[in-house]
Amino acid sequence: MRDVARHAGVSHQTVSRVINGDSAVLPPTRHKVDQAIMDLGYRPNAIGRSLAEGRTRMLACLAPNLTDFTFASIIEGAEAEARRHGYFLVASSAPDEANFAILVDRLVSSRRTEGILVINPFIDGRRKYFLPEFPMVLIGSPSDDSQVGSVSLDNTQAGYLATNHLLSLGHRRIACISGPQIEDCVVDRMTGYKMALLEAGLQICPAYMGRGDWSASSAYAVVTQWLAEKLPFTAIFSQNDTMAIGAIRAMRAVGIRIPQDISVIGIDDMPLSSYFDPPLTTIRQDTYAIGQEAARNLVQVIENLTASKVHQRMPVELVIRQSTQAI
């Protein structure tokens, strides 16, 4: 640590404050210390610190699954930020509310972790299982519990932007493929979809709303069913990019051209989206930064540097590519 301090031209106490995430350190000073850490390849001895402090310095992250691009990117950002502050992060999947409840109970009662990040918390589980006295931060849903902080995408705005883009191209029969309805982000994205339609003077038609599970195969099945029913949609808003790709594959299987016949838009802007054929129009969210912010907020709660009820919304951005066009 003293080598880092010498390299950065600061005291070793300042280096310690940066490593521990002290928000009072000025950004230029923090940058000098971070650069010195990278230049020297310094790694804080978190294990030694944990033993000395009698703490685990372990954080947990719960997600519906660990394979989805969005969840994996959030976890990657959270893990990097946790490590920067001298914490370890472990991730586990909670595919349903029952598993979620069991995991939360075990983590809290065992005290093996000092805080928990929860990605896309289940609507009911969020209200029943979160304990205000235990450090937690929700990711992907704004918290309605003033004692539980959150870092969320503006999901209503994401759904609105996606749908409004299709409306601006002249589409009026816009279908929507959602994720699981038990997740708040799904409800919020659907709210944005409906808001845009109503503003355009259109009716909400349940037949145009299909339910997926974030996977390409689920969207493939939804669109295949719509085509069998001869649903006359001209555009699809998919609540994530993976399902958008599944929807496109289903339509191409029967000779439908994208975007000449049907326009498709997703949410995420995962790396594959710009290389898909056609490149996918989407709503960009910086999932890595969301993970970083959530982990930073959780560490600050644990270290008593901030209140636990901080709620932060991350911006979204429309990225227009070649999977949508005017009719």
- pLDDT (tens digit, 9 = 90+) per residue, 220-277? 999 999 999 999 999 999 999 999 999 999 999 999 999 999 999 999 999 999 999 9
Task: Note the pLDDT of residue 56.
Answer: 83
* CB burial readout 227-260, b (16+ within 10 A) else e: eeeeeebbbbbbbbbbbbbbbbbbbeeeeeebbe
Q: pTM, whole model, 2 decimals?
A: 0.75
Mean pLDDT of the chain: 88
Task: Note the pLDDT of residue 38.
Answer: 74
| CA pair distance 188, 307, nearest whole angstrom | 26
Residue 85 pLDDT grade (very low, low, confident, very high; cuts 50, 70, 90): very high
pLDDT, greater one: 259 or 13: 259
Provide the 3-class DSSP secondary structure of residue 228: helix
Task: Note the pLDDT of residue 53.
Answer: 57
| CA pair distance 171, 282, nearest whole angstrom | 16
Task: Note the pLDDT of residue 146.
Answer: 54
Question: At which residue do the structure tokens 């009698």 appear?
Answer: 54
The residue-averaged pLDDT of 28-37 equals 82
Task: Note the pLDDT of residue 324.
Answer: 99
Short-list 174, 239, 233, CA closest to 200: 174
Cβ–Cβ < 8 Å for 223, 237? no
| CA pair distance 148, 133, nearest whole angstrom | 9
Task: Note the pLDDT of residue 128.
Answer: 54
Longest dimension (CA), the chain: 71
| CA pair distance 105, 232, nearest whole angstrom | 47
Residue 21 pLDDT grade (very low, low, confident, very high; cuts 50, 70, 90): low
Cβ–Cβ < 8 Å for 89, 78? yes
| CA pair distance 266, 284, nearest whole angstrom | 9
Task: Note the pLDDT of residue 153.
Answer: 86
Task: Note the pLDDT of residue 132.
Answer: 65
Half-sphere exposure of 142 (CA within 13 A, CB side): 12
**Encoding tokens for residue 178?**
């959602």
Residue 189 pLDDT grade (very low, low, confident, very high; cuts 50, 70, 90): very high
Q: Which of 12-16, 71-75, 312-316 has the lowest mean pLDDT?
A: 12-16
Tell me the per-residue pLDDT of 104-150, one tens digit each, with 9 for 90 and over.
888 877 778 899 999 877 655 455 556 667 898 989 866 555 568 88
What domains are there in the chain, each with its CATH number?
1-44 (1.10.260.40), 53-153+288-315 (3.40.50.2300), 155-285 (3.40.50.2300)
Half-sphere exposure of 64 (CA within 13 A, CB side): 22
| CA pair distance 236, 209, nearest whole angstrom | 10
Tell me the per-residue pLDDT of 264-322, one tens digit each, with 9 for 90 and over.
999 999 999 999 999 999 999 999 999 999 999 999 999 887 666 778 889 999 999 99
The residue-averaged pLDDT of 216-220 equals 98
Amino acid at 165: H
Asked if pLDDT for residue 39 goes beyond 60, the answer is yes
Listed in sequence order, the residues at least 6 apart from 142 whose beta carbon sits closer than 8 Å to its beta carbon are 150, 152, 184, 311, 313
